[in-house]
Amino acid sequence: MRHPIGVVAATASGRTAAATLASVWPKEVRVFAADSVADALREAFRACEAVVSFLAVGATVRILAPLLEHKTTDPAVVCVDESRRYAVPVLGGHHGANALAERIADVLGCTPVVTTASDAVAVPGLDELADLMGWPIEPGSDLAGVGAALLSGEPVTLSGDLTWPLPALPPNVTRVSAPEPGLPVIAVTDEDLAAGRGLVVYRPPSLVVGVGASRGASAEEVLETIDAALAEARLSPLSVRHLASVDAKADEAGLLAAAERRGWPVVCHPAEALARVETPNPSEVVRAAVGTPSVAEAAARYAGPGRPLGELVVPKRRSARANPMVTVAVARHRGRGRLAIVGLGPGARDLLTPRAVAELRRAAVVVGLDQYVDQVRDLLRPGTEVVASGLGQEEERARTAVELARAGRAVALIGSGDAGVYAMASPALDLADEAIDVVGVPGVTAAAAAASLLGAPLGHDHAYISLSDLHTPWAAIERRIRAAAEGDFVVCFYNPRSRQRDWQLARAVEILAAHRPPKTPVGYVRNATREGERVVLTTLADFDPAEVDMYTVVLVGSSNTRIVAGRMVTPRGYRWS
Ligand code: SAH
């Protein structure tokens, strides 16, 4: 086994940086030293999956050049300069060096200098596309040829099973129903198709192989039967998502060993669930033995409660030997659309999480309020479709996002703060069903952003209350304010006041004031972490609701909240303060 990261340094500064890497990644880093630094570098190159060289790029290249074989087998190499300003992926950019340079940059505070073409122009390279989707690429695919066409803006066609939620692709990629002669092709297919010049074949995980086996069937018999079924139907084993069977077979040694040999997961379902799946070849003998009339065909088609069934593409076939017997069937499952619900945080770019950025770049369509879309437009990949709409169209935005996901697209539905707090997540999920995948990315909500500016007002129990009575009757809102007042909660008021709703905040504060002293701290923040941010700390007695608008969040302390050195503090526990 090769070591994950070998580090080589020649100078005191390099050795200090090497020691830093070794201390932050103790399980991965091994520092190489030898009589000559060239020997140390050569040794690290032979023994590691990646090498960090604190030598000049030129020196590193001269030493390693005679050892280079192929980018897929050579270790990734990153050089870091003497004054630690830059981390330069020198070899294997797409095979770990770019990613390692980013990690080193985070630790050493330097800048990664990425020179591989696709990253430089923010177009997804073909490898990266595979990484994003997690799909294998058919060996022999012309990544260099098609990748070059993709980057230089020449026409490239995309064909095959396009129900999969691909990320945004550059505008020179056209979807076609069948490959056009002469044009480079990116194919997404489980069909047995030899890759070659001008053709890149992605293998989506579309196939589920259902397996039934009598006790004692060997791994060889299982694999032979599966391979024969796939070959007969001209399907690629690279598109097999998993093997599926019935719960009673979850410990069948031959099945498990076969799956492990190919790296396929095994998924077993309850007999009752399989019994409800319609199949062409049910058997009463099988029903009597395991509780479902079909194992292989039903398990191949079944995708989980409420999820659409796969289409049977290879009906049940038996192993060559009858005892022990193996049965195999194959079903094709369509891609599932993907709905990412992404909170953008309160406004500042550095409060937008890296995960939110990754989801924005994973999406083919971004749906949101126009001002939020504008806030992140620079992060979207070229070719990303934008569906922006105005205030008040929440219902329609939610519907659009869900419909696009149901059509198989990769959708990001965005909202400020956290997208689940008085925002788009619930209207969207109210409409969504099991046919789509949903990914939530939490964001820093307004109350949290405001609290950090005010001090520590949320140190003990608190309530969020929206004062918007557009969709909630005022009586219900008032009941909650009363309960929060009686319960002595710190209260965060969202949507506190607008031109049309100008009396509610004063009324809310009046209710709270009946239960807590006039000197109770009140903090409010307008445009937290955005341009024009305004932070005000006052008391219930002095608070003027007219100062507040819809860009403001208001935090009213509990009877225990104090102002300490100009900061709003709610004690963590009332007994120890
Ligand atoms: N999903 C958002 C809240 C949407 S409701 C979140 O989690 O923050 C809209 C209300 O949130 C506004 O009326 C205001 O009260 C509050 N708000 C949102 N962003 C804010 C910010 N940057 N500064 C102050 N208040 C904000």
Output the six-digit token pair for 201. 């074949």
223's enclosing H/E stretch is helix 219-232
Residue with CA nearest ligand 1 atom 13:
495
Is the predicted pLDDT of residue 385 greater than 90, yes or no? yes
Residue with CA nearest ligand 1 atom 6:
417
Q: Is the CB of 375 under 6 A from ligand 1?
A: no
Indicate the pLDDT class of residue 118, thresholds 50, 70 and 90.
Answer: low
Is the predicted pLDDT of residue 577 greater than 60, yes or no? no
Quote the ligand 1 centre to 410 CA distance (angstroms): 26
Sign of CA dihedral 17, 18, 21, 26: negative
**pLDDT score at 123:** 62
Quote the ligand 1 centre to 496 CA distance (angstroms): 10
Quote the ligand 1 centre to 538 CA distance (angstroms): 20
Q: How far apart are CA 44 and CA 30, in angstroms?
A: 9
Mean pLDDT score, 488-500: 97
Is the predicted pLDDT of residue 458 greater than 90, yes or no? yes
Quote the ligand 1 centre to 460 CA distance (angstroms): 21
**pLDDT score at 217:** 92
Q: Is the CB of 420 under 6 A from ligand 1?
A: no
Residue with CA nearest ligand 1 atom 2:
417
Q: Would you call 532 exposed, middle or buried from its count of C-beta atoms within 10 A (0-12, 13-18, 19+)?
A: exposed
Q: How far apart are CA 384 and CA 124, in angstroms?
A: 12
Counting atoms of ligand 1 from 1, which one is nearest the CA of 498?
13
Which residue, 314, 248, 239, is CA-closest to 281? Answer: 314
Residue with CA nearest ligand 1 atom 12:
495
Residue with CA nearest ligand 1 atom 17:
446
Q: Is the CB of 414 under 6 A from ligand 1?
A: no
Mean pLDDT score, 131-150: 89
Is the predicted pLDDT of residue 94 greater than 70, yes or no? yes
Residues 6+ apart with CB under 8 A from 20: 107, 108
Indicate the pLDDT class of residue 121, thresholds 50, 70 and 90.
Answer: low
pLDDT tens for each residue of 386-402: 999 888 788 899 999 99
**pLDDT score at 124:** 67
Quote the ligand 1 centre to 553 CA distance (angstroms): 6
* DSSP, residue by residue, 488-538: T-EEEEES---SS--SHHHHHHHHHHTTS-TT-EEEEEESTTSTT-EEEEE
Radius of gyration of the chain (CA): 30
pTM of this structure: 0.81
Is the predicted pLDDT of residue 576 greater than 60, yes or no? no
Mutation choice for ligand 1 from 369, 397, 422, 498, CB with most ligand atoms inside 8 A: 422
Q: How far apart are CA 508 and CA 485, in angstroms?
A: 10
pLDDT tens for each residue of 302-326: 999 989 999 999 999 998 888 888 9
CB 494 within 8 Å of CB 529: no
* DSSP, residue by residue, 107-154: HHT-EE----HHHHTTPPPHHHHHHHHT--B-TT--HHHHHHHHHTT-
Quote the ligand 1 centre to 268 CA distance (angstroms): 45
Work out the mean pLDDT of the chain and round it to a whole number. Answer: 93
CB 416 within 8 Å of CB 347: yes
CB 562 within 8 Å of CB 569: yes
**pLDDT score at 119:** 59
